[in-house]
Chains A and B, each alone.
Chain A
Amino acid sequence: EAQVTQNPRYLITVTGKKLTVTCSQNMNHEYMSWYRQDPGLGLRQIYYSMNVEVTDKGDVPEGYKVSRKEKRNFPLILESPSPNQTSLYFCASGWGNEQFFGPGTRLTVL
């Protein structure tokens, strides 16, 4: 079954404690992306990757890091989370008529 998986689905953490949200796809897609969704602000792109070892900033990259060492995985790293990073995060992969989103990760930073 074609899918994008994200883990964890829910996370409550404290300011400054490094965390990683994993994202994996099984469709051999080259394009992968991370978004955050906040009430009233729609989805905003954090980072995207066009292929292995190729990543670039979206509109809101501050406070986030990514890596793309393998085609299937695109983890999102928050090295020192802050309360303003409390949000719903989506990973997505694909292009054109073949696009899939992960189920989302609801992150709360206290």
Chain B
Amino acid sequence: AQKITQTQPGMFVQEKEAVTLDCTYDTSDQSYGLFWYKQPSSGEMIFLIYQGSYDEQNATEGRYSLNFQKARKSANLVISASQLGDSAMYFCAMREGNRTNAGKSTFGDGTTLTVKP
């Protein structure tokens, strides 16, 4: 069974600084995808970044990067140059399989990030 663990219920960061949100996962599958999502207080879910289990390079999307350490089963999200608008709940998630054979998804409990001015 898959499991996602986010050990930081809440995090604070000063505006313009970088912050790392932790995520560890557990799976026996060889093929899987790792995802991060943002949920602002308005409630919508926003996809941020994706890493495939066979991708050798860490994923980056603008100010977001995913620090993927396969042997340690960790997929930490790094947000550089934090902005006030980054204040939100962040979820790490994993999905079995790949694009042509996708399976079940599992989410972590989330980390609430607060950016201080």
Contact = CB atoms under 8 A, between A and B. Distances in A.
A104 interface: yes
B102 A50 contact: yes
Contacts of A44: 107
Interface of B: 33, 35, 37, 43-47, 50, 52, 61, 91, 93, 95, 98-99, 101-110
Given A96-B50, A97-B50, A99-B35, A48 B44 contact: no
Interface of A: 30-31, 33, 35, 40-45, 48, 50, 56, 58-59, 88, 90, 92, 94-97, 99-101, 103-104
A48 B93 CA distance: 15
A51 B57 CA distance: 29
Contacts, number: 63
B54 to A, nearest CB: 12
Nearest to A58: B104
A43 B50 contact: no
Contact of A100 (B47, B50, B61, B91): B47
Contacts of B91: 42-43
